[in-house]
Amino acid sequence: MYDLIIYGGKCWLDGKFEDCNIGIKEKNISYIGKKEEKAEIEINASNCLIFPAFFNSHTHSAMTILRNLVEGNLTEWLKKVQEIERRMSEKDVYWGTMLACVEMLKSGTAGFADMYIHMDSVAKAVCEAGMRASLGYGMADRGDPERAKKELEEGLRFANKWDGAFGRIKCHLAPHSLYTCSLDFLKKVSELGYLKHIHLAETLWEVKELKKKYGVTPVKLLDRIGFLDDKTVAAHAVWLSDEEIEILAKRKVNVAHCPASNMRLGSGIAKVREMLNAGINVCLATDGAASNDTLNMLQEIRISALLQQLRRKPIKFFEIIKIASENGYKAYNFNGGKIEVGKLADLIIIDKKLIFGPRYENFTYSPPQKVSTVIIDGKIVVEDGTILTFDEEKVFSKVEKIAEDLINVLL
């Protein structure tokens, strides 16, 4: 007897589809096979595909408030965005994150990694939405020792308060980047032994600035201070030399690839094919909604694959699905992202009709628009496209009001 069984669907097992039933007990997948098992709740998944849920490995979820607002490249964009962020309250971040949860859940994302301000609000939103997340307060000392102390205090306070909460939240330390943090600060952060989440080699501007300041490129610089290891997630990693790809691989650094954001801000195209060939654990991410401007991992799959095609360095369907799910779970140390007995029951069910057919086995370039069911931690969070954990209508109206107030000030 299981708590939940999904029967009649095509399941994505080990990089291919098999017709089988999935039994869930408490938070985990506990049966995969052809037998007709019984359960408290039974989900009929005929004409459906079942995948591990997606993990959005780098975002700033409350930035939904800034969606479709600012144009321009990263440097101009950061200036405008930071002006608005300075005015954001805890409440703003809470509702912005809830809106992010609406969008992520409907497009099949169960977990995400977030680096931002007012992180207590983000954690609260994650709990209420029923999602999974790895969270870190975005720290930037800007070379000021006093500020460095305060930032690290806040980063640690948040991480120690929320790590392990509800069994769905883990915490990390999130020093923003090499251009907003001093080397001393980054070194101190890396000595604390936490998982680390940092923006790295996002733009050519960043590479040039660091070369000017330190005479060396970003990856080599981080490596020099001993920052790089398997407990590091480097977001973006667009501007890498072959040698730097080798360093990231050797240090077992995880890379959060943000293809749409890198287009949107004119940053460039990451060398995903080469990173995969080097054995790097590449994960997929949307980045924040101010630079994407969606949080839709189904679309991110398509954009990521299209960009590598444009480079004539194709990635395959099985690779891109792994990047979008398993690799993200692995980077942030969650035991999920794969349909396998003993793994976390974070699953999505996709109605085949939304792929438009006639084949459904490979939707790299024609992903469905949404998922019908999302199961997180063994619980149904989205059913027939409707979110069960909270009232999404309320979220829309709250965020509309917040955006109006924040942006009227700006104009």
List interacting residues with a second copy (CB under 8 A). 64-65, 67-69, 71-73, 99, 102-103, 260, 262-266, 268-269, 289, 292-294, 299, 302-303, 306-307, 309-312, 314, 353, 356-359, 361-366, 369-370, 396, 399-400, 402-404, 407
Residue nearer to a second copy on the CB measure, 345 or 354? 354
User: In whole angstroms, what is the distance from residue 218 CA to residue 343 CA?
Assistant: 36
Q: Of 70 and 228, which CB lies nearer to a second copy in the complex structure?
A: 70
Written as one letter, the residue type at 91 is K
Provide, rounded to whole angstroms, the least separation between the CB of residue 396 and a second copy: 6
Element (H, E) at 204: helix 204-214
Matching residue, tokens 């979008």? 324
DSSP line for 282-339: EEE----GGGTS---HHHHHHHHHHHHHHTT----HHHHHHHHTHHHHHHTT-S-SS-
Beta-bridge partner residues of 109: 54
> Which lies closer to a second copy via its Cβ, residue 200 or residue 371?
371
**CB nearer a second copy, residue 277 or residue 397:** 397
Residue type, 44: N
C-alpha to C-alpha distance for 31 and 409, rounded to whole angstroms: 55
Q: How far is 190 from 182, CA to CA, in rounded Å?
A: 12
Rounded distance, CA 125 to CA 132, Å? 11
Shortest separation between residue 12's beta carbon and a second copy, angstroms: 15
Q: Closest distance between a second copy and the C-beta of residue 383, in Å?
A: 18
Show the tokens assigned to 246. 């080798």
Q: How far is the CB of 250 from a second copy (least distance, A)?
A: 30
CB of 229 to a second copy, least distance (A): 32
Of residues 275, 387, 380, 401, the one with CA closest to residue 43: 380
In the complex with a second copy, the residue whose CB is nearer, 68 or 277, is 68
Q: Which is nearer to a second copy, 148 or 307 (by Cβ)? A: 307
Shortest distance (Å) from residue 115 CB to a second copy = 21
